[in-house]
Amino acid sequence: MRMALVALCEDHPEIEIVGEAENGLEAVEAARRLQPDVITMDIAMPHQDGISATREILSEADTSIIVLSSLSEQRHTLANELLNLGAVDVIWKSASMLDIDLDGIAATMLEKIIFWGRNSFGSEQDEIGDSPKIEILVKRKEPKLLLLKAGAGSVPILKDIVETFSTGCLPVLISANVPRSCIESLETFLKRKSIRPLMPVEDGLGLETGVTYIMNEQSRFGVIGERGSCRFRPLALLDAKDNLITTLVKSGYLPVTIALPGVSDEYLLHPENVFSGGQFCFLGEEGRSPQTAPSKEWISINSRIHLNRVLEIL
């Protein structure tokens, strides 16, 4: 298993293997010395087990730890303990070599390593002050929902938002353009950080104030008014011309949409095709910004401080 994963990582241009460890003590020492973005951890190791190693590493650094183990007993309890300690994902494999799909597990691990590696938590906020344009933008109309368009690299910002966004404000919908294999671990990670209830979007789920919702963008849900409330429904069941935002507007949930770093190039090249109602902000990345402005209510915000200003006004 380890050899298969190492081989895949060595062949990937975004990954550099900075070290390996044979036991928990070596893992703690290597993490302290090398400060990696991602650590893959086993539970059953000599000298120091993976649980205590994870606890010690995360007490010193904010590192993404993915646990892979073949232990067959108390999986639910162990998974909860590891996630509560701060591990971002726990993957179980069969204890029998006859049942293990080595290539499949290694490919899944690779996808998760790339995803969490792009979401390093060590970036500093860029403090450049408040923007009066932001207050004008948000106050121009009365928003009913905050829509966060997220992609690879958005997790540190999402973490900050769910940790600080108050319980008495607008409903929040996170539409995440991430690999399907990573959406569940992202949901679990954010749920443990959120001060509000955080729920995965599913067919028939009602939209309520004070709740944060998360969905994989590829699942393609919209919102429709039904029996005095608004509920999520698959877009395939709604008007063929609609997208998520048009269904929100039709249902009375005028959104403030914030495109976070890591969104696909479609949002940057053709935002007018993606954002079709409400008010829009783009949290910029160096060298990347929208090519066209669909309305006067589109602005770019180029720092976390600006983002915090938007959230304060909401």
pLDDT digits (tens, 9 = 90+) for 275-288: 556 666 666 544 44
pLDDT tens figures, 178-204: 888 899 999 999 999 998 999 999 999
pLDDT band at 301 (very low <50, low <70, confident <90, very high): low
307 membership: H or E segment, kind and range:
helix 304-313
How high is the pLDDT of residue 207?
Answer: 92
Residue 73 clears pLDDT 70, i.e. is over it: no
User: SS3 for the chain, per residue?
Assistant: CHHHHHHHHHHCCCCCCCCCCCCHHHHHHHHHHHCCCEEEECCCCCCCCHHHHHHHHHHHCCCEEEEEECCCCCHHHHHHHHHHHCCCEEEECCCCHHHCCHHHHHHHHHHHHHHHHCCCCCCCCCCCCCCHHHHHHHHHCCCCEEEEEECCCCHHHHHHHHHHCCCCCCCEEEEECCCHHHHHHHHHHHHHHCCCCEEECCCCCECCCCCEEEEEHHHCEEEEEECCEEEEEEHHHCCCCCCHHHHHHHCCCCEEEEECCCCCHHHHHCHHHHCCCCEEEEECECCECCCCCCCCCEEEECCHHHHHHHHHHC
pLDDT at position 291: 47
pLDDT of residue 30: 95
pLDDT at 189: 92
Tens digits of per-residue pLDDT, 99-113?
566 677 888 888 999
pLDDT higher than threshold 60 for residue 20? yes
Most confident of 19-23, 132-136, 139-143: 19-23
Q: Where are the beta strands (DSSP E) in 190-290?
A: 198-200, 212-216, 221-226, 229-234, 255-259, 279-283
Give the range among 36-40, 135-139, 167-171, 202-206 with minimum mean pLDDT: 135-139
Q: Between 55 and 312, name the one with better pLDDT.
A: 55
What's residue 296's pLDDT? Answer: 44
Residue range(s) occupied by CATH 3.40.50.180 in the chain: 132-313
Which CATH number is correct for 132-313, 3.30.360.10, 3.40.50.180, 3.40.50.300, 3.30.1490.20?
A: 3.40.50.180
pLDDT at residue 280 in the model: 64
Confidence of residue 267 (pLDDT cuts 50, 70, 90): low
Lowest mean pLDDT among 57-61, 74-78, 143-147, 272-276: 272-276
What pLDDT sits at residue 78?
A: 87
Indicate where the chain has its CATH 3.40.50.2300 domain(s). Answer: 2-117
Q: What is the pLDDT of residue 268?
A: 56
Higher pLDDT, 51 or 101: 51
Q: What is the percent of the chain where pLDDT is above 90?
A: 32
The per-residue pLDDT for 48 is: 92
Burial of 14 (0-12, 13-18, 19+ CB in 10 A): exposed
Q: Which CATH number fits domain 2-117: 1.10.760.10, 3.30.750.24, 3.40.50.2300, 3.30.420.40?
A: 3.40.50.2300
| Residue-level pLDDT at 221 | 92
